[in-house]
Structure formats: C-alpha cells, structure tokens
Amino acid sequence: MKVQPRFGFAIEYVDDIQAATRFYTEVMGLKVERQHPSFVQFDHFAIATDEAPGGSRELELYWLVNDAEAARAALPKNAEVTKEITQLPFGKVFGVKGPTGEPRFLLELATHRPSQSVT
C-alpha cells in the first residue's frame, strides 16, 4: 500500500456513556481528550453509544489516513473491502477485511468534527 496509515484508536461501544466515562477516568485514570454526547475519546481509545459503522458493537480498530480516497485506491487487488467509503460527521471511513475476518477501518478525520477538544 502506497499510503501509510497510522494507528488511530480503538472504539468500545457502551450503553451508558456517563458510567463508562467515570470508569475510564476514575478507575483507569485516563484523561478525556475530546467529547460529544455520544462519544468520548482518550489517548488511542474511545467509547461511543451511537451506531457502529461495522454493524456490530464489537471493539473496532481505526487507522488514520490523510486521504481516504487515495488509501482506498492504493489497496492491493486482493484486499477485501467490507465497507465502501462513507462520509460521516467525524470523517470519511471505509473498512477492509482483517486477517481473521473482522473489519478494520481506515479513517480520514473531518476538519471540523462534532466532538469538542477538552485539552
């Protein structure tokens, strides 16, 4: 792949964002970097209550790219795309099938995302 993705974060889907935020800040000692009513981001880890792009609420892994279209075009021919490029409020995302069948996501972050920086 000519485009070099860099690891972005993992997302855990939760039912109660406030309880999960308290756990990760008070018990685990994590610092909130960005937040939105349905999303809280820590360093390379996030929790969310909204619908998962992968269709399930399994843990999702995201790699960041500067240009989603270029990253999609640069995929090898044998890469299996599980989700075509989709524009979401936080950026453009697409999925590829991982080594054991799970989706892995590549994300071009939007310039203006709905979450607000806390730091």
- Considering the entire predicted model, what is its pTM? 0.83
- C-alpha–C-alpha distance, residues 47 and 10, integer Å: 8
CATH 3.10.180.10 fits 6-112, yes or no: yes
Q: Could you tell me the sign of the dihedral formed by the alpha carbons of 42, 47, 52, 54, in that order?
A: positive
- What is the structure's pLDDT at 86? 95
- What is the structure's pLDDT at 25? 93
Return left, alpha or beta for 87; rule: phi > 0 is left, psi -120 to 50 is alpha, else beta.
beta
Q: Is the pLDDT of residue 1 over 70?
A: no
101 vs 55, higher pLDDT: 101
Q: Tell me if residue 62 falls in helix, strand or coil.
A: strand
pLDDT for 17-73, tens place per residue?
999 999 999 988 999 999 999 999 999 999 999 888 777 888 899 999 999 999 999
**In sequence order, which residues have a C-beta less than 8 Å from that of residue 110 and are 6 or more positions away?**
89, 90, 91, 92
- What is the structure's pLDDT at 116? 86
As a whole-number percent, the residues of the chain with pLDDT over 90 amount to 71
- What is the structure's pLDDT at 20? 94
Domain limits, the chain: 6-112
